[in-house]
Structure 1
């Protein structure tokens, strides 16, 4: 068929609809895939090549160009993963017969071990909060829920009162692609929520926000940015030198479980990881911790 700019736009729309409906991607993930696809489409438009006429060598030149304009290896991997997904869709939907991206390689990434806090450091973070301030108990509850349940920050800001089963001590979480899972919640986290409750009840809550657990002073549910800023400020006040984000507490949750003897498959289910390979990063963290313990405490390593 003759490929026009209108046809390309229709292909783009069908692809994004496929990601949303068939792959169940969240709006944030969908936006990221759309932006990455547009990088490819703009590149092809610049060299006068239609998206259905692409060969492997064209995609390799595109990949090399990402490096040349200063995009980091990790971002390159994400973009090229989206390119491979896009061309798989084109084959699946009958636009092309051969997948030119099948042999497209991503840059090799060095092993990156995410930062995590020990349980003592989590307590240090919480204890540094001034509970005489209006949001004090709320912020303690946020930190404890992140650490006790291992939630993503997007899952935390969307956590509803109706998702908390106090008697059973579980919370219902909607993760990536709106996939639902049940995660145990500790009695400590529930106690911190109770401490926060009296301040929450005094808020003038905006219509439609009544079921959200964590609210700001204006009675609206929190954003991811608000929680990131709060954690960074609190880490500084607590004297914690590590780079802290909401994901740090998720990593801390998983690391604490692994070092406590939990099975990796159980941790995978609690975190909502689709692949066990994603969860296996925590085995490296644990090994690193064990090695450091030996270096610091084994008599053969201790200086007299």
Structure 2
């Protein structure tokens, strides 16, 4: 029995890339899945989101095909079986050629992500008449909110305390968010070795940018002089502009649809100057940073000069994590920047603007309390008691 595959397709007319779902034996399109992926593009989702969703939809379709389940009309027990299978089925080796000697399994968080996509796919199908309302009805269940999120309005009579929650979602223990100390960040910059990589790490740590926002920067976004009035910008001091663009050749996409300005330090400007020299002396990569050219490009492997991609950045951070023997991911630098700002007394509204969040609720995750702070609090109370 053939299976479905997620494949990247390129339009011969426009060169536009998109993800589709095809039958592995006949390469015939799965029409409903392909239309669902097209709807992600129409909503402005990034190419990386589309690729991830394509893989999860294929996982669901293959699960149904192997078990003779009608993908458009799964019963509750069949969806519950899928949820359990996601965490109990061993994964193939990373090469995909043979079973792994040490079995690996999906985490419950990953299973939740898959079930979220499956639910979205089925709800989308219901809108278009492919899936019955009875199927959609089993995807959620009422939930009573006893502990309200900050600033949540339950209504005058508590009518908003009851919400619809996902029926197929594992309860997870909050692992907290990992951030890095200034010493750890400095050590990572030193480990990077290359000027481009040092500048990328320092940029994320200094500005709190997301990795997609950094990889999507163009030369015209960097205003690193004391005055940018000659560029038609009235913002004083060195800074950069974060803009959402849908035509970046590396598919990098800023998550926020609202453009923002983020100040940068003199130290970051110095690292950028080092990177400029490194790029100018790399064969095939020396191009003018102005006129819309991407800032981060390949310098050390072909094709030299091509915009740096998400996989390139992941390889860099994975390599540094192995060298330092502790986790190191781009988003940790964003959390580190936000935590440092809040801990130093920067107003929450200012931090929210720097990070590009539209909702103040998004700020709750960034305030990390350290062991030092908790000890100081206990010792301060004890000192007051002894004084009295």
Match of 1:102 among 113, 117, 140: 140
Higher Rg of the two aligned structures: 2
Contact 2:280-2:287 at 8 Å conserved across structures: no
> Relative contact order: is structure 1 or structure 2 higher (C-alpha 8 Å, sep ≥ 6)?
1
Bigger drift between 26-35 and 164-173 goes to 164-173
Structure 2: tracts of 5 or more residues without a match = 1-22, 90-104, 142-166, 229-234, 245-252, 384-388
Shift of 1:241: 5.6
SS in 1 for 2:112: helix
TM-score by length of 2: 0.63
Tell me the residue number matched to 1:203: 282
Structure 1 CA distance for aligned equivalents of residues 186 and 213 of structure 2: 22
Structure 2 CA distance for aligned equivalents of residues 150 and 253 of structure 1: 5
Contact 1:164-1:170 at 8 Å conserved across structures: yes
Shift of 1:30: 0.8
Structure 2 CA distance for aligned equivalents of residues 108 and 77 of structure 1: 9
SS in 2 for 1:35: helix
Per-residue displacement from partner, 1:107-162 (whole Å, max 9, x unpaired)? Answer: 011111232122343334435666xxxx3x33332221111121222332332112
Tell me the residue number matched to 1:61: 81
**Greater strand percent: which structure?**
2
Q: Cα–Cα, structure 1 residues 262 and 78, in superposed 2: closer, same or farther, change >3 Å?
A: farther
Match of 2:108 among 66, 73, 85: 73
Match of 1:181 among 249, 259, 264: 259
SS in 1 for 2:209: coil
Structure 2 CA distance for aligned equivalents of residues 227 and 46 of structure 1: 36
Shift of 1:227: 3.8
Tell me the residue number matched to 2:232: none
SS in 1 for 2:241: strand
Shift of 1:184: 0.6
Shift of 1:176: 4.9
Tell me the residue number matched to 1:156: 214
Query: 1:282 and 2:366 equivalent?
Result: yes
Shift of 1:259: 1.4
Contact 2:87-2:111 at 8 Å conserved across structures: yes
Q: Cα–Cα, structure 1 residues 231 and 81, in superposed 2: closer, same or farther, change >3 Å?
A: closer
TM-score by length of 1: 0.78
Q: How many residues align?
A: 287
Tell me the residue number matched to 1:255: 339
Tell me the residue number matched to 2:295: 213
Shift of 1:299: 8.9
SS in 1 for 2:50: helix
Contact 1:73-1:107 at 8 Å conserved across structures: yes
SS in 1 for 2:328: coil
Tell me the residue number matched to 2:241: 171
> What does 1:1-150 correspond to in 2, within 5 Å?
9-22=30-43, 24-69=44-89, 70-95=105-130, 96-98=132-134, 99=136, 100-103=138-141, 104-127=167-190, 135=194, 137-150=195-208
Bigger drift between 261-270 and 71-80 goes to 261-270
Shift of 1:165: 3.0
Structure 2 CA distance for aligned equivalents of residues 39 and 235 of structure 1: 30
Bigger drift between 49-58 and 108-117 goes to 49-58
Q: Cα–Cα, structure 1 residues 270 and 222, in superposed 2: closer, same or farther, change >3 Å?
A: same
Structure 2 CA distance for aligned equivalents of residues 50 and 220 of structure 1: 44
Shift of 1:82: 0.8
Shift of 1:197: 1.9
Per-residue displacement from partner, 1:186-225 (whole Å, max 9, x unpaired)? Answer: 1232232123222222234459996121231433333444
Structure 2 CA distance for aligned equivalents of residues 289 and 212 of structure 1: 42
Report the aligned-residue RMSD.
Answer: 3.4
